[in-house]
């Protein structure tokens, strides 16, 4: 049963949806300027219904409140710390981190920090592992008309472009667009500043050293991630046995026909 509630995390009113179940809780981490609504199809997916599930809105996203200290909160380390506090508040002791886009990078950041001991798996969607800041230009593709989720001000036209490049399902575009437009614009400014300052884990190093099971999933026709980057020899080696390219799919492949089966397989075969 899905329970919707508002809780206080570090003084910030936070929107959370939760379902009880057996095994590690699947903690859904949304992407830059989006919201927990991107995970809505999971609530009705019967194949995953036995697992505990948590979705939430980061501060300044969805219907969660904006923070008093945005520069600290809107950063990779800030988001990772927020997840740590969220799990503590919910009393959850075993998790699988499910991150979409930026959420996948935040999952690595969180697992590399204080919650590593309770993370039983990481499932990333559209999150190419990054080693250096220079990797950004190789790992990601430029969008038309200068559309970007790493600038503070975004025009309505640019919002529409971003929404249309997330998935191939036009019915989802208004959900994405509404989330982007309602997000705190300063989240993008401070996030980019923190990344430019090197405020994140070396994800290549993390993947080499970690014993946590990891699966990374990408859409073959992703218009945001450069799939050619993933085929570089160093990435091929890094992600060997931990990568799946889904045919005829965009940045966010279809939940029910593509992602849920992959997630179920990961939960059943990789999670102890």
Q: Shortest CA distance to 65 belongs to which of 12, 119, 127? A: 12
Spatial contact of 110 and 119, defined as CB atoms under 8 Å apart: yes
What is the structure's pLDDT at 272? 60
| Domain count along the chain | 1
Q: How far apart are the C-alpha atoms of 248 and 209, rounded to whole Å?
A: 32
| Structural domain harbouring 183 | 3-269
CATH number of domain containing 49: 3.40.50.1820
pLDDT digits 0-9 by tens, 60-112? 999 999 999 999 999 999 999 999 999 999 999 999 999 999 999 999 999 99
CA gap 155, 96 in Å, rounded = 36
Give the model confidence (pLDDT) of 153-205 as tens digits: 999 999 999 999 999 999 999 999 999 999 999 999 999 999 998 888 899 99
Alpha helices in 24-139 (DSSP H): 70-73, 76-90, 102-111, 135-139
Per the DSSP assignment, residues forming a β-bridge with 15 are: 6
Note whether 64 and 73 are within 8 A (CB): no
């Amino acid at each position: 049963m899905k329970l919707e509630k508002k809780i206080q995390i570090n003084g910030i009113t936070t929107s959370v949806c939760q379902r009880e179940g057996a095994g590690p809780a699947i903690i859904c981490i949304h992407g830059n300027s989006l919201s927990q609504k991107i995970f809505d199809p999971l609530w009705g997916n019967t194949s995953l219904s036995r697992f505990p599930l948590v979705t939430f809105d980061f501060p300044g996203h969805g219907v969660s409140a904006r923070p008093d200290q945005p520069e600290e909160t809107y950063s990779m380390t800030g988001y990772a710390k927020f997840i740590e506090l969220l799990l503590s508040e919910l009393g959850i002791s075993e998790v699988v981190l499910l991150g979409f886009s930026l959420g996948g990078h935040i999952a690595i950041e969180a697992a590399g920090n204080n919650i590593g001991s309770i993370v039983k798996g990481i499932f990333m969607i559209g999150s190419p592992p990054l080693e250096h800041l220079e990797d950004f230009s190789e790992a990601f593709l430029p969008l038309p008309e200068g559309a970007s989720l790493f600038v503070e001000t975004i025009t309505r036209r640019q919002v529409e472009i971003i929404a249309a490049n997330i998935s191939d399902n036009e019915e989802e575009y208004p959900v994405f667009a509404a989330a982007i437009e309602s997000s705190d614009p300063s989240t993008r400014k401070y996030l980019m500043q923190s990344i430019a300052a090197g405020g994140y884990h070396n994800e290549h190093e993390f993947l080499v050293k970690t014993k946590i099971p990891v699966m990374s999933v990408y859409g073959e026709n992703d218009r945001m991630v450069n799939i050619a980057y993933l085929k570089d020899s160093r990435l091929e080696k890094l992600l060997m046995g931990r990568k799946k390219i889904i045919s005829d799919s965009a940045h966010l492949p279809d939940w029910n026909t593509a992602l849920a089966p992959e997630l179920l397989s990961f939960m059943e075969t990789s999670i102890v």
